[in-house]
Structure 1
Amino acid sequence: MTDLGWVGVVRHGESTGNVKREEAEAAGLDVIDIAERDADVPLSPLGEQQAAAVGRWLASLPSGRRPDVVVCSPYQRALSTAWLAVDEIGYQPVRLVDERLRDRELGVLDLLTARGVANRHPDELVRKERLGKFYYRPPGGESWADVALRLRSLLGDLERRHQGERVLLFAHEMTAYLLRYLLEGVPEKDLLALARNTVVANGSVTSWVREGSGFRLEHEHATEHLRDRGVQPTESEDAETESV
């Protein structure tokens, strides 16, 4: 689909929202206590460490394997991860911020735990069951397919502007899953099975290398670069991929 030489995506470091969500789910609450709008949720202290570890890993790569272009979601947790990482690498790739990399918008289900969705919007669970998780769109929100459409648009623009270059995205859990759909051609059913059975950890790297007319998966949600640098990855799932 693209003429990019290599594509990678880093999921943002652990955010305060991830921590609050885990606490709310564990306590059996309906609502996640997050004061900021989703776009403004910052990294936790551990998330900042994960971001710096990603940067140290990038700095350790041979020059021919380092990214030429860094493209970042405009959400604060992803921006902070990207810029903390870039500060560690000792050179300046092209830096871009693109709203098409933002996280999935949940509409009326925003800030609800799985229990909260079941208690407050049981009709939406019925609708999701009928439509299927990939095409279900919560009122005022987006479906997985909606997010895939904007990612497809972004990849097309990157192809035209950065042919043959190595592009690293800093974004969200759902971005990593949907790039597998777009770059590898993973079918909907298999994609949802992947999302059920794998975790895109905070600070993890997923990457694809150009092979013929397509892409081959190179790193599958890898976290070794964090552990090797003494930083613990966290496996906090987002509501965007778990409950809705």
Structure 2
Amino acid sequence: MRIILLRHGQSLGNVDELAYCRIPDHALPLTELGEQQARAAGATIRELIGTGPVAAYVSPYKRTRRTFDLLGVRAERVVHEPRLREQDWGNLQDPTEQEMLKHQRHAFGHFFFRLPNGESGADVDDRLAAFIDRLEVRLNEDEAHPKTVLIVSHGLTIRLLCRRLFDWSIELFESLSNVDTCENRVLDHDGTGWKLDRPFDQWRDSPDGTVQHQV
């Protein structure tokens, strides 16, 4: 079994943080570069999928759906899965409050800090746990479900999904960086557990001394 994780291409919010103040997060489009990144990533993703069937689970946000469309992947199943959405920061954001909250979140810790009218990392972790549980049931018990899965999602969401699958500590999670736009990670199941093809970049050693699972 294989799970391919892909972050969306560069979006307007990645180059203009004030875009979140005038456009709902779910409606932010890809930039021109983001569209180019998604098209370029298509060949790599199709090679990782191989010749067998694939099921695609895609965050319903505009930038993730557009990224998937530009990959040129023919999936047997395509599910726009709300549990794979970005961490919710509330509705349209105030620029002054947005900057203040980012500083508070960094000092408090990204996992437990709850955004006003939004989610904490722990909230995202909870909804991903439900998604992973259901996905593993489908992979193990539904013979019609493809054994290769493509997930197109967001940086924090992908990091938390791996935290859940590998039971990483919260300290380790908070020490890791998001993958770049249109960067992938591949998880293969060897019959005993999931293996990660390569680690996430790490901006500090985990305070509790734990490390990432690797092949």
TM-score normalised by L of structure 1: 0.70
Please tell me whether residue 17 in structure 1 is matched to residue 18 in structure 2: no
Identity %: 31
Residue in 1 that maps onto 2:44? 57
Change (3 A) 1:16 1:160: same
Give the whole-Å Cα distance in 2 for the aligned partners of 1:184 and 1:61.
21
What residue in structure 2 maps to residue 173 of structure 1? 155
Aligned-partner Cα distance in 2 for 1:53–1:170:
15
2-structure distance, mates of 1:58, 1:133: 30
| Mapped contact 1:6–1:167 kept (Cα < 8 A) | yes
Instruction: State the 1:182 CA deviation.
Output: 0.9
Equivalence for 1:69: 55
Partners of 1:111 and 1:221 lie apart in 2 by 31
Give the distance between the partners of 1:72 and 1:62, measured in 2 at CA: 16
What residue number does 1:83 align with?
69
Instruction: Output the CA distance in 2 between the equivalents of 1:61 and 1:12.
Output: 17
Per the alignment, in what secondary structure is the counterpart of residue 107 of structure 1? coil
Gaps of 5+ in 1: 22-31, 223-244
Hey, what's the Cα distance between the residues in 2 that align with 1:111 and 1:47?
A: 25
Q: Number of aligned residue pairs: give it.
A: 195
Residues 23-60 of structure 1: per-residue CA shift (max 9 Å, x gap): xxxxxxxxx14432111111111111111112122333
How far apart in 2 are the matches of 1:16 and 1:8? 24
| Aligned twin of 2:168 | 186
Cα distance change, pair 200–110 in 1 and its aligned pair in 2 (3 A)? farther
Contact 2:111 2:120 in 1 (8 A): yes
- TM norm structure 2: 0.79
Alpha-carbon distance in structure 1 between the residues aligned to 2:94 and 2:160: 22
Q: How far apart are the structure 1 equivalents of 2:192 and 2:31? A: 40
2:208 alignment partner in structure 1 = none
Residue in 2 aligned with 1:234? none
CA distance in 2, matches of 1:80, 1:97: 12
Amino acid at match of 1:209: D
Task: Give 1:92's match in structure 2, choosing from 65, 75, 79.
Answer: 75
> How far apart are residue 149 of structure 1 and its match?
0.8
* C-alpha distance in 1 between matches for 2:94 and 2:57: 27
Aligned to 1:149: 126
Alignment check: 8 A CA contact 1:207 1:220 kept: no
In structure 1, what is the Cα distance between the partners aligned to 2:98 and 2:123? 24
- The one-letter amino acid paired with 1:51 is A
Q: Distance in 2 between matches of 1:78 and 1:153?
A: 20
Q: 1:128 to 1:174 in 2, by over 3 A?
A: closer
Taking the aligned partners of 1:76 and 1:136, their CA distance within structure 2 comes to: 26
Q: Which residue of 2 aligns with 1:230?
A: none
Residue 39 (1) aligns with residue 26 (2): yes
Aligned to 1:105: 88
Deviation at 1:203, TM superposition (A): 0.3
- Paired residue for 2:211? none
Please give the secondary structure, in 2, of the residue aligned with 1:155. Answer: helix
Structure 1 residues 142-186: Cα deviation after superposition (integer angstroms, max 9, x where no partner): 011100111111111112223371111000001221122111221
| Residues 23, 92 of structure 2: 8 Å contact kept | no
